[in-house]
Structure 1
Protein backbone atom coordinates (compact mmCIF):
# COMPACT_ATOMS: atom_id res chain seq x y z
CA UNK A 1 0.00 0.00 0.00
CA UNK A 2 1.47 3.34 -1.05
CA UNK A 3 2.34 5.67 1.81
CA UNK A 4 0.38 8.88 2.11
CA UNK A 5 2.28 11.49 0.12
CA UNK A 6 3.88 14.11 2.33
CA UNK A 7 3.73 17.72 1.29
CA UNK A 8 7.15 18.83 0.08
CA UNK A 9 8.04 22.24 -1.31
CA UNK A 10 10.11 21.49 -4.42
CA UNK A 11 11.83 24.89 -4.45
CA UNK A 12 14.35 24.89 -1.59
CA UNK A 13 14.63 27.95 0.57
CA UNK A 14 17.93 28.72 2.29
CA UNK A 15 17.74 28.29 6.03
CA UNK A 16 14.38 26.52 6.02
CA UNK A 17 14.36 23.85 8.75
CA UNK A 18 13.91 20.26 7.64
CA UNK A 19 10.60 18.59 8.38
CA UNK A 20 11.37 15.71 10.81
CA UNK A 21 8.30 13.83 9.57
CA UNK A 22 9.78 13.64 6.08
CA UNK A 23 13.18 12.60 7.46
CA UNK A 24 11.57 9.79 9.47
CA UNK A 25 9.45 8.59 6.54
CA UNK A 26 12.47 8.47 4.22
CA UNK A 27 14.68 6.60 6.70
CA UNK A 28 11.91 4.12 7.48
CA UNK A 29 11.29 3.54 3.78
CA UNK A 30 15.00 3.00 3.11
CA UNK A 31 15.30 0.52 5.97
CA UNK A 32 12.24 -1.44 4.85
CA UNK A 33 13.40 -1.58 1.23
CA UNK A 34 16.88 -2.70 2.21
CA UNK A 35 15.45 -5.77 3.90
CA UNK A 36 12.93 -6.41 1.10
CA UNK A 37 15.02 -5.91 -2.05
CA UNK A 38 18.65 -5.44 -0.95
CA UNK A 39 21.18 -2.66 -1.40
CA UNK A 40 21.86 -3.24 -5.09
CA UNK A 41 18.20 -2.90 -6.06
CA UNK A 42 17.44 0.07 -3.83
CA UNK A 43 17.26 3.44 -5.61
CA UNK A 44 16.57 6.96 -4.45
CA UNK A 45 13.43 6.90 -6.62
CA UNK A 46 12.13 3.73 -4.94
CA UNK A 47 12.76 5.21 -1.50
CA UNK A 48 10.97 8.42 -2.44
CA UNK A 49 8.01 6.46 -3.77
CA UNK A 50 7.77 4.31 -0.64
CA UNK A 51 8.13 7.35 1.64
CA UNK A 52 5.50 9.31 -0.26
CA UNK A 53 7.81 12.17 -1.15
CA UNK A 54 10.14 13.21 -3.98
CA UNK A 55 13.73 12.54 -5.01
CA UNK A 56 14.35 16.27 -4.59
CA UNK A 57 13.50 15.92 -0.91
CA UNK A 58 15.94 13.03 -0.56
CA UNK A 59 18.82 14.82 -2.26
CA UNK A 60 18.32 17.90 -0.07
CA UNK A 61 19.08 15.68 2.90
CA UNK A 62 21.53 13.04 1.60
CA UNK A 63 23.91 13.51 -1.28
CA UNK A 64 23.97 9.83 -2.28
CA UNK A 65 22.32 6.48 -1.76
CA UNK A 66 25.26 5.34 0.37
CA UNK A 67 24.86 8.22 2.82
CA UNK A 68 21.11 7.63 3.07
CA UNK A 69 21.59 3.91 3.59
CA UNK A 70 24.20 4.46 6.29
CA UNK A 71 21.87 6.65 8.31
CA UNK A 72 18.96 4.25 7.76
CA UNK A 73 21.04 1.27 8.87
CA UNK A 74 22.64 3.07 11.83
CA UNK A 75 19.88 5.43 13.01
CA UNK A 76 21.43 5.86 16.45
CA UNK A 77 25.16 6.31 16.64
CA UNK A 78 26.48 4.87 19.91
CA UNK A 79 28.24 7.50 21.98
CA UNK A 80 29.17 5.66 25.17
CA UNK A 81 29.99 2.28 26.66
CA UNK A 82 27.11 1.32 28.92
CA UNK A 83 28.94 -0.94 31.38
CA UNK A 84 30.06 0.70 34.65
CA UNK A 85 33.71 1.82 34.49
CA UNK A 86 36.37 -0.12 36.33
CA UNK A 87 36.20 -3.57 34.68
CA UNK A 88 38.01 -3.80 31.35
CA UNK A 89 36.86 -7.40 30.81
CA UNK A 90 33.22 -6.31 31.07
CA UNK A 91 33.99 -3.36 28.79
CA UNK A 92 35.46 -5.61 26.10
CA UNK A 93 32.56 -8.04 26.24
CA UNK A 94 30.14 -5.13 25.98
CA UNK A 95 31.98 -3.75 22.93
CA UNK A 96 32.01 -7.16 21.21
CA UNK A 97 28.37 -7.91 22.00
CA UNK A 98 27.30 -4.47 20.80
CA UNK A 99 29.19 -4.93 17.53
CA UNK A 100 27.58 -8.36 17.06
CA UNK A 101 24.09 -7.02 17.77
CA UNK A 102 24.46 -4.12 15.34
CA UNK A 103 25.91 -6.16 12.47
CA UNK A 104 23.35 -8.95 12.74
CA UNK A 105 20.29 -6.69 12.58
CA UNK A 106 18.34 -7.35 9.34
CA UNK A 107 18.80 -3.81 7.99
CA UNK A 108 22.56 -3.68 8.61
CA UNK A 109 23.07 -7.18 7.22
CA UNK A 110 21.32 -6.11 4.01
CA UNK A 111 23.18 -2.81 3.76
CA UNK A 112 26.76 -3.77 4.60
CA UNK A 113 28.05 -5.43 1.39
CA UNK A 114 27.02 -2.59 -0.91
CA UNK A 115 27.82 0.12 1.61
CA UNK A 116 31.34 -1.19 2.13
CA UNK A 117 31.91 -1.32 -1.63
CA UNK A 118 30.78 2.29 -2.07
CA UNK A 119 32.86 3.52 0.86
CA UNK A 120 35.98 1.78 -0.49
CA UNK A 121 35.66 3.78 -3.71
CA UNK A 122 34.93 7.14 -2.08
CA UNK A 123 37.34 8.25 0.65
CA UNK A 124 35.34 11.40 1.40
CA UNK A 125 32.17 9.37 1.92
CA UNK A 126 34.09 6.93 4.11
CA UNK A 127 35.39 9.81 6.22
CA UNK A 128 31.92 11.29 6.67
CA UNK A 129 30.46 7.95 7.62
CA UNK A 130 33.19 7.14 10.13
CA UNK A 131 32.93 10.62 11.65
CA UNK A 132 29.56 9.60 13.08
CA UNK A 133 31.39 7.23 15.42
CA UNK A 134 33.82 9.82 16.81
CA UNK A 135 32.16 9.92 20.23
CA UNK A 136 32.19 6.13 20.54
CA UNK A 137 35.88 5.96 19.67
CA UNK A 138 36.51 8.61 22.32
CA UNK A 139 34.65 6.47 24.87
CA UNK A 140 36.84 3.46 24.00
CA UNK A 141 39.97 5.61 24.41
CA UNK A 142 38.79 6.80 27.82
CA UNK A 143 38.08 3.27 29.02
CA UNK A 144 41.48 2.04 27.84
CA UNK A 145 43.22 5.01 29.45
CA UNK A 146 41.47 4.26 32.75
CA UNK A 147 42.35 0.56 32.47
CA UNK A 148 46.03 1.43 31.86
CA UNK A 149 46.04 3.66 34.94
CA UNK A 150 44.65 0.73 36.99
CA UNK A 151 47.26 -1.66 35.60
CA UNK A 152 44.67 -3.79 33.75
CA UNK A 153 45.91 -2.94 30.24
CA UNK A 154 49.47 -2.52 29.07
CA UNK A 155 50.45 0.99 27.96
CA UNK A 156 50.54 1.61 24.23
CA UNK A 157 47.43 -0.36 23.23
CA UNK A 158 45.89 1.53 20.29
CA UNK A 159 42.13 2.03 20.88
CA UNK A 160 41.46 2.55 17.16
CA UNK A 161 43.05 -0.81 16.36
CA UNK A 162 41.02 -2.42 19.12
CA UNK A 163 37.86 -1.13 17.44
CA UNK A 164 39.18 -2.44 14.10
CA UNK A 165 39.79 -5.90 15.59
CA UNK A 166 36.33 -6.13 17.11
CA UNK A 167 34.57 -4.83 14.02
CA UNK A 168 36.66 -6.94 11.66
CA UNK A 169 36.08 -10.15 13.62
CA UNK A 170 32.35 -9.48 13.70
CA UNK A 171 32.11 -8.69 10.00
CA UNK A 172 34.10 -11.76 8.97
CA UNK A 173 31.96 -14.02 11.16
CA UNK A 174 28.82 -12.44 9.70
CA UNK A 175 30.01 -13.18 6.15
CA UNK A 176 31.39 -16.69 6.75
CA UNK A 177 29.61 -18.28 9.73
CA UNK A 178 26.69 -16.12 10.84
CA UNK A 179 25.21 -18.97 12.87
CA UNK A 180 28.18 -18.70 15.26
CA UNK A 181 27.13 -15.19 16.25
CA UNK A 182 24.00 -16.50 17.97
CA UNK A 183 24.39 -16.85 21.72
CA UNK A 184 27.13 -15.78 24.15
CA UNK A 185 29.84 -18.28 23.18
CA UNK A 186 31.18 -16.24 20.26
CA UNK A 187 31.42 -13.11 22.40
CA UNK A 188 33.24 -15.05 25.13
CA UNK A 189 35.71 -16.58 22.65
CA UNK A 190 36.62 -13.27 21.01
CA UNK A 191 36.90 -11.56 24.39
CA UNK A 192 39.22 -14.29 25.64
CA UNK A 193 41.54 -13.90 22.64
CA UNK A 194 41.68 -10.12 23.05
CA UNK A 195 42.23 -10.32 26.79
CA UNK A 196 44.74 -13.16 26.91
CA UNK A 197 46.26 -13.35 23.43
CA UNK A 198 47.34 -16.61 21.82
CA UNK A 199 50.91 -17.09 23.06
CA UNK A 200 51.67 -19.04 26.23
CA UNK A 201 54.09 -17.03 28.38
CA UNK A 202 56.15 -19.11 30.80
CA UNK A 203 55.84 -18.04 34.41
CA UNK A 204 58.74 -15.97 35.55
Structure 2
Protein backbone atom coordinates (compact mmCIF):
# COMPACT_ATOMS: atom_id res chain seq x y z
CA UNK A 1 0.00 0.00 0.00
CA UNK A 2 1.39 3.43 -0.89
CA UNK A 3 0.76 6.80 0.64
CA UNK A 4 -1.89 7.45 -1.99
CA UNK A 5 -4.03 4.63 -0.62
CA UNK A 6 -6.16 5.29 2.45
CA UNK A 7 -8.81 2.80 3.51
CA UNK A 8 -9.64 3.52 7.17
CA UNK A 9 -9.02 6.05 9.91
CA UNK A 10 -8.94 9.83 9.96
CA UNK A 11 -8.64 11.76 6.70
CA UNK A 12 -5.09 12.55 5.62
CA UNK A 13 -3.82 16.04 6.40
CA UNK A 14 -2.29 17.49 3.21
CA UNK A 15 -0.28 19.97 5.29
CA UNK A 16 1.49 17.10 7.05
CA UNK A 17 2.19 15.42 3.72
CA UNK A 18 3.70 18.62 2.31
CA UNK A 19 5.73 19.18 5.46
CA UNK A 20 7.19 15.68 5.32
CA UNK A 21 8.00 15.97 1.61
CA UNK A 22 9.72 19.32 2.12
CA UNK A 23 11.66 17.95 5.11
CA UNK A 24 12.66 14.91 3.06
CA UNK A 25 14.01 17.15 0.30
CA UNK A 26 15.98 19.19 2.84
CA UNK A 27 17.39 15.99 4.34
CA UNK A 28 18.40 14.71 0.90
CA UNK A 29 20.09 17.99 0.05
CA UNK A 30 21.94 18.08 3.37
CA UNK A 31 22.97 14.44 3.78
CA UNK A 32 22.38 12.63 0.50
CA UNK A 33 20.46 9.44 -0.11
CA UNK A 34 22.83 7.04 1.66
CA UNK A 35 22.68 8.94 4.97
CA UNK A 36 19.00 9.88 4.64
CA UNK A 37 17.33 9.66 8.05
CA UNK A 38 13.60 9.18 8.57
CA UNK A 39 14.04 10.23 12.19
CA UNK A 40 15.49 13.56 11.07
CA UNK A 41 12.68 14.01 8.56
CA UNK A 42 10.05 13.32 11.22
CA UNK A 43 11.64 15.79 13.62
CA UNK A 44 11.93 18.52 10.98
CA UNK A 45 8.33 17.98 9.87
CA UNK A 46 6.99 17.96 13.44
CA UNK A 47 5.63 14.45 13.18
CA UNK A 48 6.67 10.88 14.04
CA UNK A 49 8.26 8.01 12.17
CA UNK A 50 5.11 5.86 12.55
CA UNK A 51 3.09 8.69 10.95
CA UNK A 52 5.53 8.75 8.04
CA UNK A 53 5.41 4.96 7.66
CA UNK A 54 1.62 5.10 7.53
CA UNK A 55 1.96 7.27 4.43
CA UNK A 56 5.15 5.87 2.89
CA UNK A 57 6.04 2.27 3.76
CA UNK A 58 9.77 2.60 2.95
CA UNK A 59 12.50 5.20 2.69
CA UNK A 60 12.58 4.66 -1.07
CA UNK A 61 8.85 5.35 -1.37
CA UNK A 62 9.20 8.63 0.51
CA UNK A 63 12.22 9.75 -1.53
CA UNK A 64 10.51 8.97 -4.84
CA UNK A 65 7.47 11.00 -3.77
CA UNK A 66 9.65 13.87 -2.54
CA UNK A 67 11.51 14.10 -5.85
CA UNK A 68 8.24 14.00 -7.77
CA UNK A 69 6.92 16.75 -5.46
CA UNK A 70 9.94 18.93 -6.19
CA UNK A 71 9.42 18.58 -9.93
CA UNK A 72 5.68 19.26 -9.67
CA UNK A 73 5.72 22.34 -7.43
CA UNK A 74 8.36 24.21 -9.43
CA UNK A 75 7.69 23.49 -13.12
CA UNK A 76 9.94 25.06 -15.74
CA UNK A 77 8.66 28.25 -17.36
CA UNK A 78 7.84 28.15 -21.06
CA UNK A 79 7.91 30.94 -23.63
CA UNK A 80 6.68 29.06 -26.69
CA UNK A 81 10.09 28.79 -28.40
CA UNK A 82 11.08 25.08 -28.52
CA UNK A 83 14.83 25.63 -28.13
CA UNK A 84 14.51 28.13 -25.27
CA UNK A 85 11.94 25.90 -23.57
CA UNK A 86 14.20 22.87 -24.05
CA UNK A 87 17.06 24.63 -22.24
CA UNK A 88 14.65 25.64 -19.46
CA UNK A 89 13.46 22.04 -19.11
CA UNK A 90 17.04 20.81 -18.83
CA UNK A 91 17.82 23.49 -16.24
CA UNK A 92 14.80 22.26 -14.31
CA UNK A 93 16.06 18.67 -14.56
CA UNK A 94 19.43 19.81 -13.24
CA UNK A 95 17.76 21.69 -10.38
CA UNK A 96 15.64 18.70 -9.36
CA UNK A 97 18.40 16.11 -9.51
CA UNK A 98 20.89 18.37 -7.71
CA UNK A 99 18.56 19.91 -5.12
CA UNK A 100 17.34 16.51 -3.98
CA UNK A 101 20.69 14.73 -4.43
CA UNK A 102 18.61 12.27 -6.45
CA UNK A 103 21.28 10.65 -8.58
CA UNK A 104 21.80 7.60 -6.30
CA UNK A 105 18.06 6.90 -6.36
CA UNK A 106 18.13 6.66 -10.16
CA UNK A 107 20.85 4.02 -9.86
CA UNK A 108 18.88 2.17 -7.21
CA UNK A 109 15.83 2.04 -9.47
CA UNK A 110 17.94 0.30 -12.13
CA UNK A 111 19.13 -2.41 -9.74
CA UNK A 112 17.73 -5.92 -9.51
CA UNK A 113 16.80 -5.41 -5.87
CA UNK A 114 14.49 -2.45 -6.43
CA UNK A 115 10.95 -2.97 -5.18
CA UNK A 116 8.80 -3.34 -8.35
CA UNK A 117 6.04 -1.12 -6.93
CA UNK A 118 8.47 1.65 -5.97
CA UNK A 119 10.20 1.34 -9.34
CA UNK A 120 6.84 1.68 -11.08
CA UNK A 121 6.00 4.80 -9.05
CA UNK A 122 9.41 6.30 -9.84
CA UNK A 123 8.78 5.62 -13.50
CA UNK A 124 5.26 7.07 -13.44
CA UNK A 125 5.92 10.10 -11.21
CA UNK A 126 9.46 11.12 -12.16
CA UNK A 127 10.55 9.60 -15.47
CA UNK A 128 7.39 9.68 -17.60
CA UNK A 129 6.46 13.37 -17.05
CA UNK A 130 10.00 14.54 -17.80
CA UNK A 131 10.38 12.43 -20.94
CA UNK A 132 6.94 13.50 -22.14
CA UNK A 133 7.86 17.19 -21.80
CA UNK A 134 11.17 16.67 -23.61
CA UNK A 135 9.48 14.71 -26.40
CA UNK A 136 6.80 17.41 -26.68
CA UNK A 137 9.40 20.15 -27.09
CA UNK A 138 11.31 18.19 -29.74
CA UNK A 139 8.05 17.35 -31.53
CA UNK A 140 7.13 21.05 -31.57
CA UNK A 141 10.53 21.86 -33.06
CA UNK A 142 9.98 19.16 -35.67
CA UNK A 143 6.50 20.42 -36.53
CA UNK A 144 7.84 23.94 -36.91
CA UNK A 145 10.66 22.85 -39.20
CA UNK A 146 13.40 23.79 -36.71
CA UNK A 147 14.78 20.24 -36.78
CA UNK A 148 14.58 17.46 -39.38
CA UNK A 149 11.23 15.81 -39.94
CA UNK A 150 12.86 12.38 -39.68
CA UNK A 151 14.97 13.16 -36.58
CA UNK A 152 15.05 10.26 -34.11
CA UNK A 153 13.27 11.87 -31.17
CA UNK A 154 13.43 8.75 -29.00
CA UNK A 155 17.21 8.71 -29.04
CA UNK A 156 17.46 12.50 -28.92
CA UNK A 157 15.37 12.65 -25.76
CA UNK A 158 17.49 9.98 -24.13
CA UNK A 159 20.71 11.81 -24.99
CA UNK A 160 19.50 14.99 -23.29
CA UNK A 161 19.20 13.69 -19.73
CA UNK A 162 21.50 10.72 -20.34
CA UNK A 163 24.46 13.04 -20.72
CA UNK A 164 24.05 14.08 -17.07
CA UNK A 165 24.21 10.47 -15.88
CA UNK A 166 27.19 9.80 -18.14
CA UNK A 167 29.14 12.67 -16.59
CA UNK A 168 28.23 11.40 -13.14
CA UNK A 169 29.56 7.92 -13.94
CA UNK A 170 32.99 9.34 -14.73
CA UNK A 171 32.76 11.66 -11.71
CA UNK A 172 32.92 14.78 -13.87
CA UNK A 173 31.15 17.89 -12.62
CA UNK A 174 28.64 19.03 -15.26
CA UNK A 175 29.61 22.48 -16.56
CA UNK A 176 27.58 25.49 -15.47
CA UNK A 177 26.16 25.82 -18.98
CA UNK A 178 25.40 22.10 -19.31
CA UNK A 179 21.74 22.61 -20.21
CA UNK A 180 22.43 24.90 -23.14
CA UNK A 181 25.42 22.88 -24.38
CA UNK A 182 23.57 19.57 -24.45
CA UNK A 183 20.52 21.23 -26.03
CA UNK A 184 22.70 22.72 -28.78
CA UNK A 185 24.45 19.42 -29.43
CA UNK A 186 21.21 17.44 -29.71
CA UNK A 187 19.57 20.20 -31.76
CA UNK A 188 22.40 20.01 -34.30
CA UNK A 189 22.27 16.20 -34.28
CA UNK A 190 18.60 16.49 -35.22
CA UNK A 191 19.46 18.67 -38.20
CA UNK A 192 18.66 22.02 -36.66
CA UNK A 193 20.63 25.21 -36.23
CA UNK A 194 20.39 26.43 -32.63
CA UNK A 195 20.06 30.18 -32.10
CA UNK A 196 23.19 32.16 -31.37
TM-score by length of 2: 0.71
* 1:165 positional shift: 1.7
Distance 2:96 2:130 in 1: 14
User: 1:1-204 to 2 correspondence within 5 Å?
Assistant: 14=8, 16-78=10-72, 82-85=77-80, 87-105=81-99, 108-109=100-101, 111-113=102-104, 115-120=105-110, 121-122=113-114, 123-133=116-126, 134-157=128-151, 159-174=153-168, 176-178=171-173, 180-182=174-176, 184=177, 186-197=178-189
CA contact (8 A) 2:147 2:190 kept: no
For residues 46-97 of structure 1, give each alpha carbon's deviation from its aligned partner in whole angstroms, at most 9, with x where no partner exists.
4324433222211221121112112334423359763333x33323322322
Compared with structure 1, are the counterparts of its residues 30 and 154 closer, same or farther at alpha carbon in structure 2 (3 Å cutoff)? Answer: same
When the two chains are superposed, the root-mean-square deviation of aligned CA atoms in Å is 3.2
* 1:33 positional shift: 2.5
Compared with structure 1, are the counterparts of its residues 34 and 84 closer, same or farther at alpha carbon in structure 2 (3 Å cutoff)? Answer: closer
Consecutive unaligned residues of structure 2, counting only runs of 5 or more, are 1-5, 192-196
For residues 111-146 of structure 1, give each alpha carbon's deviation from its aligned partner in whole angstroms, at most 9, with x where no partner exists.
421x13431232432221121144443333333333
CA contact (8 A) 1:144 1:159 kept: yes
Consecutive unaligned residues of structure 1, counting only runs of 5 or more, are 1-11, 200-204
Secondary structure, in 3 states, of the residue corresponding to 1:125? helix
Larger Rg: 1
CA contact (8 A) 1:100 1:181 kept: no
Distance 2:22 2:143 in 1: 44
Residue aligning to 2:194: none
Distance 2:84 2:62 in 1: 34
